[in-house]
A and B are shown apart, each in its own frame.
Chain A
Amino acid sequence: MDISNGVNPALLIAIPLGLTFAIPLCGFISKRIGEYIPILGMIFNLVVAITLIPRVIREPIIVSLGGFPPPFCINLMADPLGVFLAALIALIGLMISIYATDYIKKGATQNYHMLYLLLLVGATGIVLTGDIFNLFVFFEILCISSYALVAYDGDKPGIESGMKYLIQGTVGSGLILMGIALLYGKFGTLNMAHLAQNIHSTTPLSTFLPLALLITGFGVEAALFPLNAWLPDAHSSAPSSISAILSGIAIKMGVYAIIRIIFTLFGASSLFHFILFLGLFTLLVGELAAFRQNNIKRMLAYSSTGQIGLIIFAFGLASTLGIKGALFQMTSHALAKALLFLAVGYMIYRSGSIKINSLAGMGKKMPLVSLAFAIGVFSLIGFPPFVGFSSKFLIVKATLAQHDSVLTILLGFVLLATIIEGAYFLKVIQTIYFKDTAQQTVQPWQGTSLAALIPICILMVLIVGIGIYPEVLSKILNAAAGMLLDREAYIRNVLP
């Protein structure tokens, strides 16, 4: 509880936020400094989040902003789940900001780096906050900066998909705000622990409408099945570094918010089966849609939808093992999808086209980037020894541990989706490595730069490393899963 010793978790939000607005100021000195500020911010966040992990496993840290005790203040809740996700955001954010120093050359680069850092601030705020309106504000920071970043290139598809994303996202966040208004009208509080304490004092029917509004609103950002129309456009038209951060981090924030609301805020155990099926539908639709794409970035975008479905499915199991599997899958998907988009970004740069066929022969032309692509794909499909195997294996184990025949049948569908995933991804691998190049389009090419290779190599090492030794995450994941399932502990920690 005491925040006197060690680092204050509020710095995880404050320092990057301050640095964001330092970027235009540094622009007066030199235009190039702005590129390195996101790296600085994310190194700070990564170090702080990792040093916080042992402390929050012992006891969650509550930071009361403004000096009032909860529930009267806005409080930050640095529990194992939040700090773990903050570390993941910082890691992926760091990799992509290193990549972007070289990748983003044209346009208003300062604005790009500002918005990018702001997006990461929003994501970090979402996972750390303990106040539902604060959650909404950080969510909007995340969303508005991602709308602008999707349209960063200013070309036809970029602007159009940015507009689509904006309209759908705004309706979604409007629904969230409506849900918050109804909750406030009912309970007169915005503190999540205080709401969770009082939520069962009324009939379930009267909290149903806010719950439905909140899930639908956050579901737009999480790209759950009927609400995912924006995702393939936005992820495929954005610059590759932005596609990577959207797929790796932004959509998971929607999932995090839904999970927090269902598990902690409402304790709605009757909804677990609903999200189980929702996840399964999202998984199947995403993988089937990805199967028939011939645009590589669109394929990856639909595959993200599918993977989000799998994560939601695993959360729906609502057992410690299932939630552990879901969080592990979040990690492995973030690593693999970031790697894939970064690698594909350079392949597209080289071949000048986003069609899968134009990637033929890349295995010879760009061996290291193709290797990175292959590792990312193998990890997503779930081949050992990559990290995707451990996470999918954990989900399968968790499903079977429930000893429920319906769940076993559903697991069959999940594995079917994995086979579809394997089918379309291996087709791409075959094109890259074994297909002869029919026509040679000559692009001006100076070789892949060091700034692009460093994050790609680090991500490859992490995917293989964690895949071989998954125990490294087990302690924090156990603590996070335990915390998510234990509402009473959450309430007790905030309101002693």
Chain B
Amino acid sequence: MIYYVGSFGLIIIGLYIVLTKRNLIKVIIGLDLFETGIFLLLICTGYVKGGTAPIFSNAKLTSALMVDPVPQALVLTAIVIGVATLALALSLAIRLYHHYGTLDLRKIRELKW
């Protein structure tokens, strides 16, 4: 239960940063926190307390004590995707800084409705 609270906490903090901060780098950090929260949520769904990897190394191991490996595989994939997004976001931020000389989102307003 506490894991779910923690991961949702991270998700909410991340979203809050994305919505309120004016500095682009902070917004990107917020996005990353948001994603990390979701990864933890995914991990929680398969977590078993005191469990171990689902490999039949000793005969006493029952399926109740095995941690579900699927969410971990999913999180690995999702982390790779997250890294790609983050790298792209940071490189765009560098280019944006070259154009405007600032990372303040209030001053970057070329496009409007």
| Chain A residues in the interface with B (C-beta under 8 A) | 133, 137, 140, 144, 147-148, 151, 154-157, 159-164, 166-167, 170-171, 173-174, 177-178, 180-182, 184-185, 188, 190, 232-233, 236-237, 289
**A151 contacts across to B, CB distance below 8 A:** 92, 95
In the assembled complex, the CB of B4 is this many whole angstroms from the nearest CB of chain A, namely: 9
Q: Could you tell me if A177 and B42 are in contact, using CB atoms closer than 8 angstroms?
A: yes
A166 to B88, CA, bound (A): 9
Flag B5-49 by CB within 8 Å of A: 1 or 0 each.
000000100010010000010010001001100100110110000
Q: Could you tell me if A184 and B71 are in contact, using CB atoms closer than 8 angstroms?
A: yes
Q: Supply 19 A–B pairs (Cβ within 8 Å), ascending by A.
A: A137-B77, A147-B92, A154-B95, A155-B99, A156-B100, A157-B111, A160-B108, A161-B111, A162-B92, A163-B93, A163-B96, A166-B85, A167-B18, A167-B27, A170-B35, A177-B42, A185-B45, A236-B111, A289-B113
**B42 contacts across to A, CB distance below 8 A:** 177, 180-181, 184
**A184 contacts across to B, CB distance below 8 A:** 42, 45, 70-71, 74
Question: When the two chains form the complex, which single residue of A147, A166, A181 contacts B45, counting CB atoms closer than 8 Å?
Answer: A181
Main secondary structure on B side of the interface with A: helix
Q: Could you tell me if A170 and B31 are in contact, using CB atoms closer than 8 angstroms?
A: yes
A188 to B68, CA, bound (A): 9
Give the interface residue-count category, chain B: 20 to 34
* Contact A148 to B38, CB < 8 A, known contacts A171-B31, A190-B70: no
Flag B86-113 by CB within 8 Å of A: 1 or 0 each.
0011001101100110000000101101
In the assembled complex, the CB of B74 is this many whole angstroms from the nearest CB of chain A, namely: 6
Q: Return the chain B residue nearest A143 by Cβ.
A: B85
B66 near A: Cβ within 8 Å?
Answer: no
Q: Could you tell me if A159 and B92 are in contact, using CB atoms closer than 8 angstroms?
A: yes
Q: Could you tell me if B81 and A137 are in contact, using CB atoms closer than 8 angstroms?
A: yes
| Chain B residues in the interface with A (C-beta under 8 A) | 11, 15, 18, 24, 27, 31, 34-35, 38, 41-42, 44-45, 68, 70-71, 74, 77-78, 81, 84-85, 88-89, 92-93, 95-96, 99-100, 108, 110-111, 113
Q: Return the chain B residue nearest A179 by Cβ.
A: B38
Q: Could you tell me if A171 and B34 are in contact, using CB atoms closer than 8 angstroms?
A: yes
A155 to B31, CA, bound (A): 24
In the assembled complex, the CB of B2 is this many whole angstroms from the nearest CB of chain A, namely: 15
**B93 contacts across to A, CB distance below 8 A:** 163
A232 to B111, CA, bound (A): 9
Q: Could you tell me if B89 and A163 are in contact, using CB atoms closer than 8 angstroms?
A: yes
In the assembled complex, the CB of B28 is this many whole angstroms from the nearest CB of chain A, namely: 8
Q: Return the chain A residue nearest B77 by Cβ.
A: A137
In the assembled complex, the CB of B38 is this many whole angstroms from the nearest CB of chain A, namely: 5
**A233 contacts across to B, CB distance below 8 A:** 111
**B71 contacts across to A, CB distance below 8 A:** 181, 184
**A236 contacts across to B, CB distance below 8 A:** 111
**B31 contacts across to A, CB distance below 8 A:** 167, 170-171, 174
A479 to B96, CA, bound (A): 48
Q: Could you tell me if B81 and A171 are in contact, using CB atoms closer than 8 angstroms?
A: no
**A174 contacts across to B, CB distance below 8 A:** 11, 31, 34-35, 38
In the assembled complex, the CB of A207 is this many whole angstroms from the nearest CB of chain B, namely: 15
Q: Could you tell me if A159 and B99 are in contact, using CB atoms closer than 8 angstroms?
A: yes
**B15 contacts across to A, CB distance below 8 A:** 171
In the assembled complex, the CB of A79 is this many whole angstroms from the nearest CB of chain B, namely: 25
**A164 contacts across to B, CB distance below 8 A:** 111
In the assembled complex, the CB of B92 is this many whole angstroms from the nearest CB of chain A, namely: 5
A370 to B56, CA, bound (A): 70
Q: Could you tell me if B85 and A177 are in contact, using CB atoms closer than 8 angstroms?
A: no
Q: Could you tell me if A133 and B111 are in contact, using CB atoms closer than 8 angstroms?
A: no
Q: Return the chain B residue nearest A236 by Cβ.
A: B111
Q: Could you tell me if B18 and A140 are in contact, using CB atoms closer than 8 angstroms?
A: no
Q: Return the chain A residue nearest B11 by Cβ.
A: A178
In the assembled complex, the CB of A306 is this many whole angstroms from the nearest CB of chain B, namely: 15
Q: Return the chain A residue nearest B32 by Cβ.
A: A170
Q: Return the chain B residue nearest A189 by Cβ.
A: B70
A155 to B96, CA, bound (A): 9
Q: Could you tell me if A159 and B88 are in contact, using CB atoms closer than 8 angstroms?
A: no
Q: Return the chain B residue nearest A183 by Cβ.
A: B45
The 5 closest A-B pairs by CB, nearest first: A185-B45, A181-B42, A233-B111, A140-B81, A159-B95
Report which residue of A170, A190, A233, A237 has the largest number of chain B beta carbons within 10 angstroms of its beta carbon. Answer: A170
**A171 contacts across to B, CB distance below 8 A:** 15, 18, 31, 34
**A188 contacts across to B, CB distance below 8 A:** 68
